[in-house]
Chain A
Amino acid sequence: MSAANPSSAVRRASAVNPAWRYGRPALVLLLAGLAVGVPLWLVAVTSAKPQAEAITPNLDLPRHWQPGGNYEEAVSQGEMLHGFLNSLLVVVPSVALVLILGAGAAWVFARRKSKLVSAAYAICISGLLLPPAVITIVMELRQLGLAGTRPGMIAVYTGMYLSTSIFFMTGFIRAIPVELEEAARMDGASPLRIFRQIILPLLRPVIATATIMVMLYAWSDIFYAFFVLGGGEKATLPLNLYKVASAQLYLNNWHLVFAYVVVMSLPMVAIFLVAQRKIVSGITSGAVK
């Protein structure tokens, strides 16, 4: 009786389902087309149109294709390559520092137990909730001689995103059995060695997550870059995009704006596609516990 019950319940459930079985994929397709397809289509076609066609952005295919010309113009006028390089020079060191410093701190926070440790941990993850005081950051950087420099920008991003990596990594390390470390310690391994050879490799999934999150934030940030770097020599890609788009009022250059948007987004999409599985598992294991 009890064995028959669940199977009949399952059968009943799947009997309710047919409408849902075909309706659901149709709904998914419709939503994906409308919500994601339309905006991305707009970006793709507009970035391939000549200026005259792009003035009023619409979903029509370009009558005259000139993607090459647009991207070339964006590169030369919008200083795209320069911005790309500037972005890399700021984002890569920031991510590296966030990961290395964050992992070290997370290890100590996860393993040691004292009031001092939990206080330090609480302070270090307070950045998850508290907003960075961007105006006085500028003041402090000026006094340190770091205003408008890449090291200044790197320091600001690192300080800002350390909380995220420490939070995710501490949770993750707590789930790693201490016995692994103890075994290595018995063999005479130093803390540095244990950290490098046991903890860091095990952290790989959460490192993938933290990497993509911090990279995403730093790569697309314009707010803090505006205050710290300003518009000049060191301007990152988003700052350049902002400049190109602000000229919009006089130039109506949607074709350039969207060429820029494509170039700016592709690296992130590529990274996501490569590391997708790790990112997803990392996000999910870190957030829901």
Chain B
Amino acid sequence: MADTAIRTRTQKPAPAKGRGGKVGRLPRAAVHHPWWFALPAIVVFAAFFLVPNLLNFYYPFTNWSSYHPDIAFTGLDNFTTIAHDGSLLRAIRTTLLYALLAAVFQNGFGLGLALLLEADSRFNRFFRAVFFLPVLISALATGYIFQSLFNQDGAVNGLLGTDIPWLGSTSWTLVLVTVIHGWKWMGLSMLIYLAGLKGIPGEMLEAAKCDGAGPWRTFWSVRWPMLAPALTFNVTTALIGSMNTFDIVQATTGGGPAGSTEVFNIYMFRIFGQGLYAQASAMSLVLFLVVVAVAIPLVIGLRRREQLL
């Protein structure tokens, strides 16, 4: 970086002098990479992402709903409502648990597959594509597929000759749904771990071999530390992404049984459908705050870990 900067400085004067009149006294960067290339993106992002997120700090404190013709400020009413009916704490707990388990399964499956299919052979390339297939199937479709598999009269019970209500347990169904989430996204994690594995210099592995390290030792002492950037990316995207989950849960359980899988977005979807917009917006604000509270320490922590290793 530094030396290219120096070189540009010494080369520059010639063309700048040639068009001196047109360029005037604008700084070089403004001439070569003008802001108007970035402006459309910034405007669209600000208008349709930032502004709604800012509005989301106001509307939860109003009585906005399909029952009121105009919107009035009502203070903390919406928050006390969702706190009192228990949905607030339940949504926080369910979503955090979902995100944690989903990230564990997605990364576990992904890393396992990457190690299994690491060598570059035709066989492995084919099966990498096979395990990537679930990523290409929409999450809603994935949900329906697994609903028909795990339904009480579905394919799994039919195959095993059992009669287990897979999607009917208030404690275990959430875990099963996170496994499904891991299944859908394992292909993406696998690709990123594969890239990480490929980035490890061959001399390093050879050196480990010379020192007599077995495959197990090589993994823990050489490959695993070298996978740190891939792990950072995978864990962050999996954890944060699954906090925003909706489709798989909606298609498999719809938030049930007894609300045990009702994550933030399912709650918003349900309450918005009832016309209670401000209340849904309150939940959306809490989701925002929870994501921020998880994301910032997570990113800082993983980055620090990368540097330590």
Task: Please list the residues of chain A having a beta carbon within 8 angstroms of any beta carbon in chain B.
Answer: 5-6, 9-10, 13, 16, 24-25, 27-28, 31-32, 35-36, 38-40, 42-43, 46, 56-59, 97, 101-102, 104-105, 107-109, 111-114, 120, 123-124, 127-140, 155-156, 158-160, 162-163, 166, 177-179, 181-182, 185-186, 188, 191, 195, 216, 219-220, 222-223, 226-227, 238, 241-242, 245, 254, 257-258, 260-261, 264-265, 268-269, 272-273, 276, 280, 283-285, 287-289
Decide if A107 touches B133 in the complex (CB within 8 Å): no
B41: which of A105, A113, A186 is its contact (CB, 8 Å)?
A105
Decide if B141 touches A135 in the complex (CB within 8 Å): no
A-chain residues with CB within 8 Å of residue B144 when the two chains form the complex: 241, 245, 257-258, 261
A-chain residues with CB within 8 Å of residue B198 when the two chains form the complex: 284
Given the known inter-chain contacts A123-B50, A159-B45, please indicate yes or no for A6 contacting B145, CB distance below 8 A.
no
* Minimum-distance CB pairs A-B, first 8: A220-B138, A159-B48, A284-B195, A105-B41, A133-B56, A101-B41, A57-B148, A104-B37
A-chain residues with CB within 8 Å of residue B8 when the two chains form the complex: 178, 182
Asked if B258 lies at the interface with its beta carbon under 8 angstroms from chain A, I say: no
20 contacts between A and B (CB under 8 A): A9-B209, A13-B209, A32-B131, A57-B155, A97-B44, A107-B38, A129-B292, A131-B291, A136-B53, A137-B52, A140-B51, A155-B48, A222-B246, A238-B247, A242-B140, A261-B138, A261-B145, A265-B137, A265-B141, A284-B194
Q: How far is the CA of A273 from the CA of B125 in the complex (A)?
A: 12
Decide if A112 touches B127 in the complex (CB within 8 Å): no
A-chain residues with CB within 8 Å of residue B127 when the two chains form the complex: 28, 32
Decide if A42 touches B138 in the complex (CB within 8 Å): no
Given the known inter-chain contacts A112-B29, A124-B41, A264-B138, please indicate yes or no for A135 contacting B209, CB distance below 8 A.
no
Decide if A135 touches B149 in the complex (CB within 8 Å): no
Q: How far is the CA of A39 from the CA of B145 in the complex (A)?
A: 7
Decide if A27 touches B116 in the complex (CB within 8 Å): yes
A-chain residues with CB within 8 Å of residue B42 when the two chains form the complex: 105, 120, 124
Q: From residue B42, how far is it (CB to closest CB) to chain A in Å?
A: 6
Decide if B56 touches A185 in the complex (CB within 8 Å): no
Asked if B238 lies at the interface with its beta carbon under 8 angstroms from chain A, I say: no
Q: How far is the CA of A112 from the CA of B155 in the complex (A)?
A: 57
Residue in chain A with minimal CB distance to B113: A31
Decide if B137 touches A261 in the complex (CB within 8 Å): yes
Decide if A219 touches B138 in the complex (CB within 8 Å): yes
Decide if A139 touches B277 in the complex (CB within 8 Å): yes
Given the known inter-chain contacts A131-B291, A288-B195, please indicate yes or no for A6 contacting B206, CB distance below 8 A.
yes
State the total of A-B contacts with C-beta under 8 angstroms.
278
Q: From residue A110, how far is it (CB to closest CB) to chain B in Å?
A: 9
Decide if A166 touches B55 in the complex (CB within 8 Å): no
B158: which of A6, A56, A288 is its contact (CB, 8 Å)?
A56
Q: From residue A133, how far is it (CB to closest CB) to chain B in Å?
A: 4
Asked if B251 lies at the interface with its beta carbon under 8 angstroms from chain A, I say: yes
Decide if A107 touches B37 in the complex (CB within 8 Å): yes
Decide if A163 touches B45 in the complex (CB within 8 Å): yes
Decide if B136 touches A162 in the complex (CB within 8 Å): no
A-chain residues with CB within 8 Å of residue B7 when the two chains form the complex: 179
A42: which of B32, B149, B192, B284 is its contact (CB, 8 Å)?
B149
Decide if B272 touches A287 in the complex (CB within 8 Å): no
B-chain residues with CB within 8 Å of residue A284 when the two chains form the complex: 191-192, 194-195, 198
B185-201 CB contacts (< 8 Å) to partner A: 188, 191-192, 194-196, 198-199
B48, B272, B281 interface centre (most CB from chain A within 10 Å): B48
A46, A133, A285 interface centre (most CB from chain B within 10 Å): A133
B-chain residues with CB within 8 Å of residue A133 when the two chains form the complex: 52-53, 55-56, 281, 284-285, 288
Q: From residue A3, how far is it (CB to closest CB) to chain B in Å?
A: 11
A287: which of B44, B233, B243 is its contact (CB, 8 Å)?
B233
Q: From residue A162, how far is it (CB to closest CB) to chain B in Å?
A: 5
Residue in chain A with minimal CB distance to B237: A128
Decide if A104 touches B247 in the complex (CB within 8 Å): no
